[in-house]
Structure 1
Amino acid sequence: MSAQSVAGERTCPGERSAISRAICRTRQRNQYPKCLLCPHRSARVLESTAEDPKVSSSVFRTGGVLGRVPDEINEYVIRKVGLASAQFLRAESPSGSRLVVGCDARKNSRGFTRILSEGINSGGVDALNLGLAPPELLGFVLSRDGGAGAAFVGGGTYADNVSGVRLWRADGSPLAGGSGLEKVGMIARRLRTGRSRLPGQMSALDPVRDYVAHIEAFAGGVSPLKVLVDGGCGAGGGLVRSVFEKLPVEVAPVHFEED
């Protein structure tokens, strides 16, 4: 439990109400997911935790979750990553009630984003879906509106048969191996993964107009420029056009179309 309150009571990570030591022990015996994040967890309980053979530890890499589709990354794995991310990030930031999510232009990314959001909801956290959007847009919304963190579905510069999830904390810092991602993996790989009694909700947002206004507020006086811009195979192309059409900037576009 993350903190000890009155005698004989503890507080579970991400929860406001105290629980008794008896409830604490029962949750550990029942493999309550948050126990993995708790300094009072029992080593014996952790050692006996069965792992899910459908979720490979190899997909939890240094910079994020990444693997081949469908052998390593599929709807089942993505859903468990969503649930685990929600539980971990909510435990780190109890006041955060939602994750901001978005994706790249790959054919499977929108579907994976929906599945990821379902997993996030199962973890008791709302999912705010920006749709096709570069990570910078997720960071803008997270910084402006707050939340428990952000998640981006995509495969970066890897081949079409590779996909995954990148995660950020509430303060916008990336969740990486050695700084928390391994704990998300620990939760996701559990054979028995608990669901929240109060599931979160899905909603959608198009923040492009607000983002453009934000850029104009500090870059409106820029001198005329010609800029070579990589649109991230479509993920950022539309956003870049919206931003620079308001500024004295000539854009030389590269990879602006969805691919």
Structure 2
Amino acid sequence: MRIDAHQHYWKIARGDYDWMGPPVAPIIRDYLPADLQPHLKAAGIEKTVLVQAAATLAETEFMLELAEREASIGGVVGWIDLDAPDAPAVLKRLAGHQKFRGIRPMLQDIDDTFFILAEHRVAVLEALPSLGLTFDALVQPRHLPVIAALADRLPELKIVVDHGAKPFIAKGVIEPWASDMAALAQRPNVFAKISGLLTEAGADRSAAALKPYVDTLLSAFGPERLMFGSDWPVVELATTYDDWWRVANELTAGLSEAGREAILGGTAARFYRI
């Protein structure tokens, strides 16, 4: 089964997408399941993982409502306030939804690199494994040692690094990102997504420009801990869904059939219980 392990839907009138502004003007419009269906059909993708795009509980509820009506949504990764006194109760309530699969704090937007390691926040995350929930790490290269520390603190927690931690592809910089990713991959509870890379690539959006970074991820994690994600509709800032699907297939063409199947669906199916 092919799975897009990272996509978004949003409705602008909801009003809580605080990150939207002039730099992302081309994608400031509604994106809903009917818009994605032609791309999923063209790629032969059966299920997706719908990921939060706003730091509000209301948006998580919005996504779960969509998931109830849309069969192609295999799982939802939402947001909770880790500082709220009722955070554990909120998690337990959300875990009761048949498609809720995990949480994603928007760490890349938080100035404090070590935010997630605060004791009271780690205490909330400690409940995730027993609830069958996972942790999406929306991070930048500066966070990789922090995620390694989190993985050590909570070895039962399944963590996936979104967008390969957004390496500096446009600048041609690969270190210390590559070394930090290799070190992080030593933790067996950590996975990574091959997603969001073209939007980091600058003017050269070819498979050749991405290859050193994807090869680093393959070497560090192996196909069994890597998953394809479109990051649609954010990917439209760089290219089309269909073109990214073509590039991703080109970048994984040299793998065994089992390896390709893992990246294009199998890993996500295991990680998110789809």
Coarse TM-score class (shorter-chain normalised): under 0.3
Larger % of strand: which? 1
TM-score, L = length of structure 1: 0.25
As a proportion of its length, which structure holds more helix?
A: 2
- What TM-score, normalized to structure 2? 0.24
